């Protein structure tokens, strides 16, 4: 059963990713990206990370993607332009000669190695309570830093989006 769920989720995630990079219309891209995110969230659950999985759904698939879709609709690019902007010719050799070897190298290696069995974990692994405990004790300082980063991002976004630059 677990194996089946994994295959389904993995297939959906990869398919969504392929859709994201290949659709002509950005809106279709964004929607397939949402599909990928949802599948990824499932994979997180499979890995005993329910809290992060929920975050992935809420923040990524929810908030961020809504933002992207808003922008897409705001720009409302005409079809002609979209066609022009689809594929960059100079990117093809780059992708072929750089990503081809990289993919072959990494994936062949991953297929051949043995990492051994996963250990048993207790029930609270990945729950909101235990992640929160770790976050507010060991990673408190980093947590504060990331909030400052978010604040700066908000200010930056406001400045950039003003009528006059």
Partner 1 sequence: METLVVLIPLLLLAGSAISGILALAKTRGHEVPDRAISWIACTGPVLAFLFTVLIFNNMGEGQVLVAGYDWILAGGAWIKAGFAVDHLTMVMLMVVTGVGSLIHVYSTGYMKGDGGYARYFCYLNLFMFFMLVLVMANSLLLLFVGWEGVGLCSYLLIGFWWADEAKARAGMKAFLVNRIGDAGFLLGMLAIYKTAGTLNFQDLRTFVAGNPEAFLQGSGFFGVSLATASCLLLFLGATGKSAQIPLYVWLPDAMAGPTPVSALIHAATMVTAGVYMIGRMNFLYALSPTSMIVVSLVGALTAFFAGTIAMTQFDIKKVLAYSTVSQLGYMFIAAGLGAVSVAVFHLVAHAFFKACLFLGSGSVIHAMDGEQDMRKMGGLQRKMPITFITMAVSALAMAGIPPLAGFFSKDEILWKAFSSELGHGWFLWLLGIAAAFCTAVYMGRLIFMTFFGSCRADEKTRAHIHESPKSMTGVLAVLGVGAAVIGFLNVPHFLGGHAAFSHYVDSALMAAGEEPLAAETGSVAVELSLALLSVMVAFAGLMLAWRWWVKDPSLPATYVDRYPEVYELVHDKYRVDEFYQGAIVEPLENVADGTLYKAIDRKGVDGAVNGMARAFRWLGARLASAETGNVRTYVAVMIAGILLVMLSLLT
Partner 2 sequence: MGTEAYLIVASLLFLIGASGFLLRRNLLVMFMSIELMLNGAALLFVTFARHWNRMDGQIFVFFIIALAAAEAAVGLSILIAIFRLKHRVNADELSELKG
- Residue with smaller CB distance to partner 1, 63 or 96: 96
Site for partner 2 in 98-157 (CB under 8 A): 98-99, 102-103, 106-107, 110-111, 113-115, 118-119, 121, 125-126, 130-131, 134-135, 138-139, 142, 146, 149-150, 152-154, 156-157
Cα–Cα distance, 154 to 146 (Å, whole number): 12
Token pair of 87, please? 């594929």
Largest CA distance in the chain: 58
Which of 58, 71, 98, 154 binds partner 1 (CB under 8 A)? It is: 98
Tell me how far CA of residue 54 lies from CA of 36, 40, 124, in angstroms: 14, 11, 15
Site for partner 2 in 34-53 (CB under 8 A): 36-37, 40, 43-44, 46-49, 51-52
Which of 1, 79, 80, 88 binds partner 2 (CB under 8 A)? It is: 88
Query: What residues have CB less than 8 Å from 40, skipping those under 6 apart?
Result: 13, 56
Q: Under DSSP, is residue 163 helix (H, G, I), strand (E, B) or coil? A: coil
Which of 101, 146, 150, 153 binds partner 1 (CB under 8 A)? It is: 101
């Amino acid at each position: 059963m677990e194996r089946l769920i994994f295959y389904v989720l993995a297939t959906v995630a990869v398919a969504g990713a392929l859709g994201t990079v290949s659709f002509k219309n950005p809106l279709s891209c964004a929607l397939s990206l949402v599909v990928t995110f949802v599948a990824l969230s499932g994979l997180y659950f499979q890995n005993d990370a329910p809290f992060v999985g929920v975050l992935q759904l809420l923040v990524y698939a929810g908030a961020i993607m809504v933002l992207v879709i808003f922008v897409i609709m705001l720009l409302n690019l005409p079809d002609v332009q979209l066609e022009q902007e689809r594929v960059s010719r100079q990117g093809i050799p780059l992708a072929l000669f750089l990503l081809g070897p990289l993919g072959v190298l990494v994936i062949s290696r991953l297929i051949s190695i043995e990492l051994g069995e996963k250990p048993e974990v207790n029930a609270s692994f990945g729950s909101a309570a235990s992640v929160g405990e770790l976050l507010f004790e060991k990673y408190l300082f980093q947590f504060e830093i990331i909030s400052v980063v978010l604040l700066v991002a908000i200010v930056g976004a406001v400045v950039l989006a003003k009528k006059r630059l």
